[in-house]
């Protein structure tokens, strides 16, 4: 059954639940992840080492944390292209605080707080001044990065405390990193928030038709503002992890993160037009991205090739549903 106005597939409650699960996008992502895992295992003798698999998690967790919040924002019909530069600005402010003798708790508070502040600024421009989110975040993408360069110039900040470095380099148990545990914890939180609460149902309603949602009593602007704040907050957390892992701050940090985060979201089955998607799909897509980039790294594939692959993947996953819908209409 389909909605003639949007072309989207509508759920049929008479379908076999097992059949629906097996034919879902998430099941396809599981198969893709398994295929890539098997390929990497055969392509490199170092892949199956437990410490290599642990390093793999560092390859995607910071971007995946942003993707969790970005998924909700895109489902609501908005987007934030400034997440990478929020990371840069938050990292720069942590470096600046370090120069004044800030200790680990203060550094974490500065990074997370700056991310939240930047997200709130984006949210105000979109919901308060009614500006398009894509235009706003393109502007703040340059603004935040520019401020980072003004503050730090060409130099980098370093010599972070060892206790701060643990956030990006520490292990909770054996090869299980703190970053991975934090990502899994936030994945559960965002799953419950999106799929098990009234707030999540309102996010879907806004993404499908924000005008109808407004007339139904949903406070559209407030919810969108919260979503921008969440995206900024997760960018701030990612900034703490990335800065702690690298052990230094520079204004060019996290370049390209926005592309990879959006690719994770769209590959995870979230409609770029809003109104549809799942956190489970985003988590699986993050794992796939991590497997692909880590596997290419083990094969000494240049970084520019990885960028080409990610860009091509983003175009493909956006185009495929449109092409499939056109094919069904002709059929």
Here the CATH number for the domain that contains residue 308 is 1.10.3470.10
| H or E element that contains 213 | helix 210-215
For the chain, residues with pLDDT lower than 70 are 1-22
Q: 60 is in which domain, residue-wise?
A: 51-322
28 falls within a domain: no
Determine contact, residues 38/207, Cβ cutoff 8 Å: no
111 domain-assigned: yes
The tens digit of pLDDT for each residue in 171-213 reads 998 889 999 999 999 999 999 999 999 999 999 999 999 999 9
Domain contains 18: no
In a domain, 31, yes or no: no
Per-residue pLDDT, 15: 56
In-domain check, residue 255: yes
Residue 155 forms part of a structural domain: yes
Q: Tell me if 259 sits within 8 A of 5, measured CB to CB.
A: no
Residue 62 domain-assigned (yes or no): yes
Domain count, the chain: 1
Which pLDDT belongs to residue 198? 96
The pLDDT value given to residue 127: 96
- The Cα-based distances of 229 to 122, 218, 323 in angstroms read 8, 18, 34
* Domain-located, residue 70: yes
pLDDT in tens, 131-186: 999 999 999 999 999 999 999 887 888 889 999 999 999 999 888 999 999 999 99
For residue 45, count other CB atoms closer than 10 A to its CB.
10
Residue with tokens 């991975």: 180
CA 233, CA 87: separation in Å to the nearest integer? Answer: 10
Distance from C-alpha of 329 to C-alpha of 331, rounded to nearest angstrom: 5
């Amino acid at each position: 059954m389909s909605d003639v106005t949007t072309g989207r597939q509508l759920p049929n409650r008479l379908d076999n639940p097992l059949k629906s699960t097996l034919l879902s996008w998430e099941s396809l992502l599981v198969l893709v992840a398994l295929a890539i895992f098997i390929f990497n295992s055969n392509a490199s003798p170092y892949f199956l080492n437990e410490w290599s698999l642990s390093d793999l998690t560092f390859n995607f967790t910071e971007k995946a944390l942003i993707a969790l919040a970005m998924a909700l924002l895109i489902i609501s019909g908005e987007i934030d292209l400034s997440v990478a530069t929020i990371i840069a600005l938050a990292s720069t402010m942590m470096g600046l605080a370090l120069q004044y003798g800030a200790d680990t708790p203060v550094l974490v508070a500065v990074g997370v707080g700056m991310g939240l502040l930047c997200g709130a600024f984006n949210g105000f421009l979109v919901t308060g001044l009614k500006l398009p989110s894509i235009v706003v975040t393109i502007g703040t993408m340059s603004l935040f990065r520019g401020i980072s360069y003004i503050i730090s110039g060409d130099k980098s900040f370093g010599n972070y405390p060892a206790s701060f470095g643990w956030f990006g380099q520490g292990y909770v148990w054996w090869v299980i990193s703190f970053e991975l545990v934090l990502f899994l914890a936030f994945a559960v939180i965002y799953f419950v928030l999106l799929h098990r609460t009234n707030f999540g149902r309102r996010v879907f309603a806004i993404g499908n038709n924000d005008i109808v949602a407004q007339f139904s009593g949903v406070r559209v602007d407030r919810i969108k503002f919260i979503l921008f704040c969440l995206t900024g907050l997760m960018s701030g957390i990612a900034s703490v992890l990335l800065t702690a892992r690298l052990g230094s701050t520079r204004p060019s940090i996290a370049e390209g993160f926005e592309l990879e985060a959006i690719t994770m979201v769209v590959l995870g089955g979230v409609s770029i037009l809003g109104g549809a998607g799942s956190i489970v799909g985003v988590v699986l897509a993050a794992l796939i991205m991590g497997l692909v980039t880590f596997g290419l790294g083990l094969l000494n594939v240049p970084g520019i090739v990885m960028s080409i692959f990610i860009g091509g993947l983003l175009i493909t996953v956006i185009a495929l549903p449109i092409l499939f819908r056109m094919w069904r209409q002709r059929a």
